[in-house]
Structure 1
Amino acid sequence: MEQEPHLTESQPATPGTLRPGGRTAKVRRAVLDAARDALAETGFHALNMDRIAASAGVGKTTVYRRWGSPVGLVTDLLHDMAEQSLPASDTGSLAGDLRANAELVRATLTDPRMGAVFRAVISAAGCDEECARALAGFYRTRLDEWTPVVAKGAARGEIPAGTDPTELLRAVSAPLYYRFTVTHEEVTAGVAERAVTAALAAAKDGVFARS
């Protein structure tokens, strides 16, 4: 029986810099989808490049040439996740926007597949500096995306001018990640609402004002 041909690419590239169109994009999409599934199923330490290549229908030499290692795969996957993330909300109020932000984080962490992926990536970042930089870059991108909602809230007079948007947004998501990664408690809608209420109250009191 004739085997189905593998997707291949001949030009080398650094993870996260592949051109957006054509066969390269199809190869990247197939490999990153396979890597995400493998992370969810077996975690970072069991990530196997040969199995990912087979699952993606891509030649294993292509996978090794383009991504080099499981760390390279995770790094590019984080770049892709940042690119694909939903844009910030615009509900008309800072409280509404912060609730939307908290719910997005909560929904991601409690999703059976994506929660497992994030747990694996966070674990990888704890033992590999390149993964740690990629994870930090992912969150920096997401924080930058949501920064305007804080500026709009300040412009409406909901919080003091000069409130640090990054610190406020971190205060919203930090309790959720603490339960997810440290105590392994359920991340409920009530937890998300309390995080928003506490962060917003602190912001109104000037806790996050830039010095």
Structure 2
Amino acid sequence: MDGKPGLRERKKQRTHAAISEAAITLFLERGFNQVSVAQVAEAAEVSKRTLFAYFPAKEDLVVHRLADHETESARVVRARPPRTAPLTALREHFLKGLRERDPITGLNDHPQILKLTRMILDTPSLVARMERFKAGAERALAQALRESADTPELTARLAAVQIVAVQWSLAQDNTARVTYGEPADERYAGAVADAEHAFALLENGLRRPPPRK
């Protein structure tokens, strides 16, 4: 075995990608609520039954693009170097995302990314689906903190909720700025300063907020 996916798996991956591309193209052209699942299936040249086998809900056609990020913080905690605190690893990872203009940090002004972001924010069902995504990120991070950092269950849950909320808030602030026209490169320094401040607050346990520079 060479570790490569077999023919059947490659076919499934191509079908998944074709459905996803067709859906995103139609949604960005016409709007999420103006496109039916049947129209997506037709554009992807698959049946509705096949589409739902890959994407159980219409919202999944959009949110699956972010699926890997749902457990990202948990993976960062588990993969952190020895003797590195979980919060330190998460802070460095978020700062790396800012440098690389990772869309999950909100600091990406590519036209297609901005259009997709606006569509999500303007669609209540997608906003609700993102809240489920956030809750999943909290659960995954709490599990990682319990397993890899030997953190008590309640402490892990409370820490995960706070950490994910901070990441979410920072990303929303960046998104708001670039969506309303501030270039990502101009926003970068402020985004880094905000992230440093936010993670310092978490590290201090909100006891004494560090001075803003």
Give the TM-score taking structure 1 as reference length. Answer: 0.58
Confirm or deny: 8 A CA contact 1:49 1:63 kept in the other structure: yes
Partner of 2:118: 119
Confirm or deny: 8 A CA contact 1:143 1:166 kept in the other structure: yes
Partner of 1:78: 63
**1:100 lines up with 2:103 in the alignment:** no
Change (3 A) 1:27 1:193: same
Confirm or deny: 8 A CA contact 2:22 2:40 kept in the other structure: yes
Partner of 1:199: 198
Confirm or deny: 8 A CA contact 2:63 2:130 kept in the other structure: yes
Change (3 A) 1:206 1:141: same
Structure 1 residue 198 displacement after superposition: 1.5
Structure 1 residue 177 displacement after superposition: 0.7
Partner of 1:166: 161
Give matches, 1:1-211, under 5 Å: 26-49=14-37, 51-56=39-44, 58-59=45-46, 62-63=47-48, 66-67=51-52, 72-79=57-64, 81-83=66-68, 87=72, 88-89=75-76, 90=80, 92-93=84-85, 94-101=87-94, 103-104=96-97, 106-108=101-103, 109=106, 110=108, 112=110, 113-124=112-123, 127-128=124-125, 131-147=126-142, 148=144, 164-181=159-176, 184=180, 185-187=182-184, 188-207=187-206
| 1:130-183 residue CA offsets vs partner (Å, 9 max, x unmatched) | x3442212222334444547997898xxxx999622212322331331342477
Give the TM-score taking structure 2 as reference length. Answer: 0.58
How many percent identity over aligned positions?
Answer: 13
Q: Which letter does structure 2 place at the counterpart of 1:194?
A: A
Q: In the aligned structure 1, how far is the partner of 2:198 from the partner of 2:68?
A: 27
Q: In the aligned structure 1, how far is the partner of 2:175 from the partner of 2:26?
A: 20
Q: In the aligned structure 2, how far is the partner of 1:162 from the partner of 1:63?
A: 39
> Where does the alignment leave 5 or more consecutive residues of structure 1 unmatched?
1-19
Q: In the aligned structure 1, how far is the partner of 2:62 from the partner of 2:131?
A: 13
**By percentage of residues, which structure has more helix?**
2
Change (3 A) 1:37 1:139: farther
Segment of structure 1 superposing worse, 26-35 or 40-49: 40-49
| 1:66-87 residue CA offsets vs partner (Å, 9 max, x unmatched) | 55xxx93223442463147683
Change (3 A) 1:111 1:186: closer
Change (3 A) 1:102 1:55: farther
Q: In the aligned structure 1, how far is the partner of 2:156 from the partner of 2:20?
A: 42
Q: In the aligned structure 2, how far is the partner of 1:176 from the partner of 1:191?
A: 12
Change (3 A) 1:30 1:190: same
- Corresponding residue pairs, total: 177
Confirm or deny: 8 A CA contact 1:102 1:196 kept in the other structure: yes
Confirm or deny: 8 A CA contact 2:70 2:134 kept in the other structure: no
Q: What is the root-mean-square deviation in Å for CA atoms of aligned residues?
A: 4.3
| 1:6-56 residue CA offsets vs partner (Å, 9 max, x unmatched) | xxxxxxxxxxxxxx9586665443212221233344442443545533432
Change (3 A) 1:114 1:172: same
